Amino acid sequence: MAVYSPLKSSVVLRLNTGTGGDGKMIVRSVTMSRIRPAVDATSLKSATDALGSLFDYPVLAVEKVGTDSVEAA
């Protein structure tokens, strides 16, 4: 049997920076690393809401990205 062991985690904020000449939305990403892998969703949402208010553009999405190792149990 194997188990996952968390190594690192980050959060990505997707920002709507406007529309291009072709009328399509321009999306930019801001990545923040060194996020505690075990952070709960409510705490992360509160933190990203506070950070999102500091940007000049609206936040479209927030993604938590984790990297785990697979180890024998």
Give the residue, 73 or 39, on which the prediction is more confident.
39
pLDDT digits (tens, 9 = 90+) for 5-62: 999 999 999 999 999 999 999 999 999 999 998 899 999 999 999 999 999 999 999 9
pLDDT given at position 46: 96
pTM of the entire predicted model? 0.84
Structural domain that includes position 49: 2-72
Strand segments, DSSP code E, in the chain are 2-19, 25-33, 59-72
Residue 36's nearest CA partner among 10, 62, 5, 69 is 10
- Count of structural domains within the chain: 1
Residue 26, beta-bridge partner list: 18
